[in-house]
Amino acid sequence: MTRKLFWEDMYISEFEAKVEITDGDTVILNQTAFNPRGGGLVCDTGTLGGVGVIEVTKDGDTIAHRLESRAPFGKGEPVHGVLDWERRYRVMRMHTSAHILSAVVNRETGALITGNQISPDESRVDFSLESFDKNKMSSYIDRVNEAVRRGLEVRTFFLKREEAMKLPGLVKLANATPPSLDVLRIVQIGDVDAQADGGVHVRNTREIGKVVGLRTENKGRNNRRLYFTVES
Ligand SMILES: [Zn+2]
Protein backbone atom coordinates (compact mmCIF):
# COMPACT_ATOMS: atom_id res chain seq x y z
CA MET A 1 0.00 0.00 0.00
CA THR A 2 1.44 3.37 -1.04
CA ARG A 3 0.78 6.37 1.24
CA LYS A 4 -0.86 9.06 -0.91
CA LEU A 5 0.88 12.31 0.01
CA PHE A 6 -1.20 14.09 -2.65
CA TRP A 7 -4.33 13.36 -0.61
CA GLU A 8 -2.81 14.82 2.56
CA ASP A 9 -1.58 17.96 0.76
CA MET A 10 -2.32 18.51 -2.91
CA TYR A 11 0.38 21.21 -3.06
CA ILE A 12 3.36 18.94 -2.31
CA SER A 13 5.72 19.24 -5.29
CA GLU A 14 8.81 17.55 -3.76
CA PHE A 15 9.04 14.70 -1.29
CA GLU A 16 11.28 12.05 0.28
CA ALA A 17 10.36 8.38 0.11
CA LYS A 18 11.80 4.92 0.53
CA VAL A 19 12.05 2.42 -2.32
CA GLU A 20 9.98 -0.71 -1.64
CA ILE A 21 10.21 -2.57 -4.95
CA THR A 22 12.04 -2.01 -8.22
CA ASP A 23 11.50 -4.09 -11.33
CA GLY A 24 13.44 -2.85 -14.35
CA ASP A 25 12.11 0.65 -15.04
CA THR A 26 9.23 0.36 -12.52
CA VAL A 27 9.44 1.63 -8.92
CA ILE A 28 7.09 1.31 -5.97
CA LEU A 29 7.68 3.63 -2.99
CA ASN A 30 6.37 3.66 0.59
CA GLN A 31 4.77 7.06 -0.17
CA THR A 32 4.39 9.36 -3.16
CA ALA A 33 3.15 12.79 -4.24
CA PHE A 34 2.77 11.57 -7.85
CA ASN A 35 -0.92 11.36 -8.71
CA PRO A 36 -1.51 8.25 -10.84
CA ARG A 37 -3.51 8.18 -14.06
CA GLY A 38 -7.20 7.58 -13.35
CA GLY A 39 -10.64 9.13 -13.07
CA GLY A 40 -10.04 10.87 -16.41
CA LEU A 41 -6.89 12.62 -15.15
CA VAL A 42 -3.50 12.26 -16.80
CA CYS A 43 -0.78 11.16 -14.37
CA ASP A 44 1.90 13.42 -12.95
CA THR A 45 5.37 13.41 -14.45
CA GLY A 46 8.69 14.57 -12.95
CA THR A 47 11.78 12.86 -11.53
CA LEU A 48 12.72 10.26 -8.92
CA GLY A 49 16.33 10.46 -7.84
CA GLY A 50 16.95 12.64 -10.88
CA VAL A 51 15.55 10.03 -13.33
CA GLY A 52 12.50 11.02 -15.40
CA VAL A 53 9.11 9.58 -14.38
CA ILE A 54 7.07 9.05 -17.55
CA GLU A 55 4.03 7.13 -16.29
CA VAL A 56 2.31 6.62 -12.92
CA THR A 57 -0.41 4.01 -12.49
CA LYS A 58 -2.33 2.49 -9.62
CA ASP A 59 -3.33 -1.04 -8.89
CA GLY A 60 -5.60 -1.09 -5.86
CA ASP A 61 -3.74 0.79 -3.13
CA THR A 62 -0.35 0.45 -4.80
CA ILE A 63 1.08 3.20 -7.01
CA ALA A 64 3.75 2.33 -9.59
CA HIS A 65 6.15 4.83 -11.20
CA ARG A 66 7.63 4.00 -14.60
CA LEU A 67 10.99 5.63 -15.23
CA GLU A 68 12.52 6.63 -18.56
CA SER A 69 15.31 4.11 -17.88
CA ARG A 70 16.18 1.26 -15.53
CA ALA A 71 15.89 2.25 -11.84
CA PRO A 72 19.38 3.08 -10.48
CA PHE A 73 18.32 2.49 -6.87
CA GLY A 74 17.27 -0.58 -4.89
CA LYS A 75 14.91 -1.70 -2.15
CA GLY A 76 15.24 0.25 1.09
CA GLU A 77 17.08 3.21 -0.42
CA PRO A 78 15.86 6.78 0.10
CA VAL A 79 14.82 8.69 -2.99
CA HIS A 80 13.86 12.31 -3.67
CA GLY A 81 10.84 12.93 -5.89
CA VAL A 82 10.12 16.13 -7.82
CA LEU A 83 6.89 16.75 -9.71
CA ASP A 84 6.59 18.72 -12.94
CA TRP A 85 4.65 21.30 -10.99
CA GLU A 86 3.62 23.46 -13.95
CA ARG A 87 1.84 20.46 -15.51
CA ARG A 88 0.31 19.28 -12.21
CA TYR A 89 -1.00 22.73 -11.27
CA ARG A 90 -2.70 23.11 -14.66
CA VAL A 91 -4.31 19.67 -14.15
CA MET A 92 -5.58 20.81 -10.72
CA ARG A 93 -7.07 24.00 -12.22
CA MET A 94 -8.61 22.01 -15.10
CA HIS A 95 -10.01 19.33 -12.80
CA THR A 96 -11.77 21.73 -10.43
CA SER A 97 -13.14 23.55 -13.51
CA ALA A 98 -14.50 20.26 -14.88
CA HIS A 99 -16.37 19.62 -11.63
CA ILE A 100 -17.93 23.10 -11.71
CA LEU A 101 -18.83 22.70 -15.40
CA SER A 102 -20.41 19.31 -14.74
CA ALA A 103 -22.43 20.75 -11.84
CA VAL A 104 -23.63 23.71 -13.95
CA VAL A 105 -24.69 21.59 -16.94
CA ASN A 106 -26.30 18.99 -14.67
CA ARG A 107 -28.27 21.68 -12.85
CA GLU A 108 -29.38 23.41 -16.07
CA THR A 109 -30.22 20.31 -18.10
CA GLY A 110 -30.26 17.24 -15.85
CA ALA A 111 -27.53 15.75 -18.08
CA LEU A 112 -25.23 13.13 -16.61
CA ILE A 113 -21.48 12.98 -17.14
CA THR A 114 -20.59 10.12 -19.49
CA GLY A 115 -16.84 10.72 -19.69
CA ASN A 116 -14.05 13.19 -19.13
CA GLN A 117 -10.39 13.70 -19.92
CA ILE A 118 -8.38 16.18 -17.87
CA SER A 119 -5.07 17.21 -19.46
CA PRO A 120 -2.77 20.20 -18.91
CA ASP A 121 -3.52 21.93 -22.22
CA GLU A 122 -7.08 21.01 -23.13
CA SER A 123 -9.75 19.08 -21.23
CA ARG A 124 -13.17 17.72 -22.10
CA VAL A 125 -16.37 16.56 -20.44
CA ASP A 126 -19.02 14.40 -22.15
CA PHE A 127 -22.68 14.93 -21.31
CA SER A 128 -25.77 12.81 -21.99
CA LEU A 129 -27.42 15.57 -24.03
CA GLU A 130 -29.22 15.63 -27.36
CA SER A 131 -28.51 19.21 -28.20
CA PHE A 132 -25.65 21.49 -27.44
CA ASP A 133 -24.87 24.57 -29.50
CA LYS A 134 -22.36 27.41 -29.29
CA ASN A 135 -24.81 29.69 -27.44
CA LYS A 136 -25.55 27.10 -24.79
CA MET A 137 -21.86 26.35 -24.39
CA SER A 138 -21.02 29.99 -23.78
CA SER A 139 -23.88 30.45 -21.31
CA TYR A 140 -22.68 27.41 -19.29
CA ILE A 141 -19.09 28.67 -19.40
CA ASP A 142 -20.31 32.08 -18.14
CA ARG A 143 -21.96 30.35 -15.17
CA VAL A 144 -18.74 28.43 -14.49
CA ASN A 145 -16.72 31.64 -14.46
CA GLU A 146 -19.22 33.29 -12.11
CA ALA A 147 -18.56 30.45 -9.65
CA VAL A 148 -14.80 30.69 -10.22
CA ARG A 149 -14.83 34.42 -9.44
CA ARG A 150 -16.75 33.85 -6.19
CA GLY A 151 -13.54 32.38 -4.72
CA LEU A 152 -15.16 29.19 -3.45
CA GLU A 153 -13.20 27.02 -1.04
CA VAL A 154 -12.49 23.47 -2.21
CA ARG A 155 -12.57 21.00 0.68
CA THR A 156 -11.69 17.31 0.71
CA PHE A 157 -12.81 14.97 3.46
CA PHE A 158 -13.74 11.36 4.07
CA LEU A 159 -17.25 10.10 4.73
CA LYS A 160 -18.73 6.71 5.41
CA ARG A 161 -20.44 5.48 2.27
CA GLU A 162 -23.97 5.58 3.73
CA GLU A 163 -23.44 9.19 4.91
CA ALA A 164 -21.96 10.20 1.56
CA MET A 165 -24.87 8.80 -0.42
CA LYS A 166 -27.21 11.19 1.45
CA LEU A 167 -25.48 14.23 -0.10
CA PRO A 168 -27.69 15.61 -2.86
CA GLY A 169 -26.35 15.18 -6.37
CA LEU A 170 -23.35 13.21 -5.23
CA VAL A 171 -23.34 10.93 -8.22
CA LYS A 172 -23.55 12.72 -11.54
CA LEU A 173 -21.50 10.12 -13.34
CA ALA A 174 -23.66 8.04 -15.66
CA ASN A 175 -21.49 4.95 -15.89
CA ALA A 176 -19.57 4.97 -12.65
CA THR A 177 -21.09 5.09 -9.22
CA PRO A 178 -18.46 5.56 -6.52
CA PRO A 179 -16.35 2.43 -6.14
CA SER A 180 -17.66 0.00 -3.56
CA LEU A 181 -15.60 1.25 -0.64
CA ASP A 182 -16.74 1.72 2.94
CA VAL A 183 -15.24 5.21 3.14
CA LEU A 184 -15.37 7.69 0.26
CA ARG A 185 -13.22 10.74 -0.33
CA ILE A 186 -15.47 13.70 -1.02
CA VAL A 187 -14.44 16.85 -2.88
CA GLN A 188 -16.73 19.80 -2.13
CA ILE A 189 -16.55 23.05 -4.08
CA GLY A 190 -18.30 25.71 -2.01
CA ASP A 191 -22.08 25.43 -2.47
CA VAL A 192 -21.70 24.34 -6.12
CA ASP A 193 -20.70 20.68 -6.08
CA ALA A 194 -19.82 17.66 -3.95
CA GLN A 195 -18.51 14.47 -5.55
CA ALA A 196 -16.82 11.25 -4.54
CA ASP A 197 -13.44 11.80 -6.16
CA GLY A 198 -9.83 10.64 -5.88
CA GLY A 199 -8.16 13.39 -7.89
CA VAL A 200 -6.22 16.58 -7.26
CA HIS A 201 -7.83 20.04 -7.08
CA VAL A 202 -7.00 23.66 -6.27
CA ARG A 203 -7.81 25.01 -2.78
CA ASN A 204 -9.85 27.95 -4.00
CA THR A 205 -11.67 28.43 -7.30
CA ARG A 206 -9.93 31.82 -7.80
CA GLU A 207 -6.75 29.89 -8.60
CA ILE A 208 -8.43 28.61 -11.76
CA GLY A 209 -8.24 32.04 -13.39
CA LYS A 210 -10.64 31.94 -16.33
CA VAL A 211 -12.34 28.97 -18.00
CA VAL A 212 -12.56 29.22 -21.80
CA GLY A 213 -14.94 27.06 -23.85
CA LEU A 214 -13.17 25.84 -26.99
CA ARG A 215 -15.68 23.79 -29.01
CA THR A 216 -18.38 21.13 -28.83
CA GLU A 217 -18.55 17.81 -30.66
CA ASN A 218 -21.34 15.32 -31.27
CA LYS A 219 -20.30 11.89 -30.06
CA GLY A 220 -23.44 9.92 -30.88
CA ARG A 221 -27.17 10.66 -30.71
CA ASN A 222 -27.27 11.36 -26.97
CA ASN A 223 -23.70 12.36 -26.21
CA ARG A 224 -22.17 15.83 -26.46
CA ARG A 225 -18.55 16.65 -25.76
CA LEU A 226 -17.37 20.06 -24.56
CA TYR A 227 -13.71 21.05 -24.79
CA PHE A 228 -12.31 23.77 -22.55
CA THR A 229 -9.10 25.21 -21.20
CA VAL A 230 -8.02 27.57 -18.42
CA GLU A 231 -6.21 30.88 -18.69
CA SER A 232 -4.61 33.04 -16.02
ZN1 LIG B 1 -13.01 14.56 -10.53
Percent of the chain with pLDDT over 70: 94
Q: Give dist(CA 23, CA 65) in Å, integer.
A: 10
Which is more confidently placed, 219 or 24?
Answer: 24
Query: What pLDDT does residue 131 have?
Result: 81
**What is the arithmetic mean of pLDDT over 43-59?**
97
Cα of 213 from ligand 1 centre, angstroms? 18
- List, as ranges, residues with CB under 5 A of the ion ligand 1: 197, 199
Cα of 95 from ligand 1 centre, angstroms? 6
- Using the predicted structure, report yes or no on whether residue 175 has a pLDDT greater than 70: no
Tell me whether residue 159 is exposed, middle or buried, using C-beta atoms within 10 angstroms of its C-beta: 0 to 12, 13 to 18, 19 or more.
middle
User: Can you tell me whether residue 1 is helix, strand or coil?
Assistant: coil
User: Can you tell me whether residue 93 is helix, strand or coil?
Assistant: helix
Cα of 82 from ligand 1 centre, angstroms? 23
Give the 3-state secondary structure percentages of the chain, helix then strand then coil, rounded to 5.
25, 40, 35
Percent of the chain with pLDDT over 90: 75
Confidence label for 221 from pLDDT (cuts 50, 70 and 90): confident
Angle formed by the axes of helices 85-109 and 134-149, nearest 10°: 120
Cα of 37 from ligand 1 centre, angstroms? 12
Report the amino acid identity of residue 38.
G
Cα of 76 from ligand 1 centre, angstroms? 34
- Using the predicted structure, report yes or no on whether residue 209 has a pLDDT greater than 60: yes
Cα of 130 from ligand 1 centre, angstroms? 23
pTM of the model: 0.93
